[in-house]
Amino acid sequence: MTRSTLKIAPSILSADFARLADEIARVEQGGADWLHVDVMDGHFVPNLTVGPPIVESIRKVTRLPLDVHLMVTNPDDCIGAFAEAGADYLTVHVEACPHLHRTVQFIKERGVKAGVTLNPATSVVTLEEILPDVDLVLVMSVNPGFGGQQFIPGSLDKIKKIRAMLDQARSQALLEVDGGVKVDNAAQVVEAGADVLVAGSAIFCSADYAGTIKAMREAGHAMPDGSRGRSSVSR
């Protein structure tokens, strides 16, 4: 099995919301692969961000796949609205889903790719039964709720464990990492097994978005032809 090409997903949480369309255009022209949209409900996490109308507006100004990270207590209540708004991926927290299998099916029935994510203190064991059903696993490498936090070093072991689980299951699901990912730790995160790097402050707080995306991709060993460098793994 060959691992997919590294993807960079700027998180708009650190963008200038007053100029959101311009910010999105800059990262799209700068080589971003996906756009990461953080949805926070002020309950599952101590912060409030955007809802379906904003996702619908974003959908109109970009062709990038919209990777919507739902940090909400009852995701089943809003999955339909985010699917309608144009999400390509909808990722839910295992901590917020007592009926995770049903929630994942609910996402897929709407024609949207389904992701599951774990907080830093949640064990990888919680993924075992759901792995065959998901398109994406997201490892939170900070406690969710805010941009600009420090990468939790123990996340590297967790990424490695989940990479091994995916490979053993011969799963095609992508492994995404979110929180504190910067140019200087991108190589370690990719070496540990990540396919998708989310980066908010690293990109939107830099002067040169395209340069930062390029540096991050190079750090992750992507080759000019789009294949992976020393992190390329054929299985």
Ligand X SMILES: O=C(CO)[C@@H](O)[C@H](O)COP(=O)(O)O
Q: Are 69 and 62 in contact (CB under 8 A)?
A: no
Is position 93 an interface residue for Fe ion (rule: CB under 5 A)? no
Residue 147 contact among Fe ion, ligand X, none, beta carbon within 5 to 8 Å by kind: ligand X
Q: Out of 64, 178, 186, 192, name the contact with Fe ion by CB under 5 A.
A: 178
- Indicate if 178 belongs to the active site: yes
CA distances from 181 to 101, 144, 225 (A): 29, 13, 24
- Name the DSSP letter for residue 202: H
Residue 14 interacting entry, from Fe ion, ligand X, none, C-beta within 5 to 8 Å by type: ligand X
Complete DSSP assignment for 81-94: HHHHHT-SEEEEEG
Q: Using CB under 6 A as the criterion, which residues of the chain lie in contact with ligand X when the complex forms?
A: 11, 13-14, 36, 38, 69, 142, 144-149, 178-181, 198-202
Q: Is 182 left (phi over 0), alpha (psi -120 to 50) or beta?
A: beta
- The active-site residue out of 41, 67, 178, 195 is 178
| Residue type at position 146 | F
Cα(23)–Cα(201) distance, rounded to whole angstroms? 13
**220 is an annotated ligand-binding site residue:** no
Residue 91's binding partner out of ligand X, Fe ion, none, with CB under 5 to 8 Å set by partner kind: none
> Is 80 part of any known ligand binding site?
no
Of the candidates 33, 38, 67, 135, the residue annotated as catalytic is: 38
Annotated binding site for substrate: 11, 69, 145-148, 178-180, 200-201
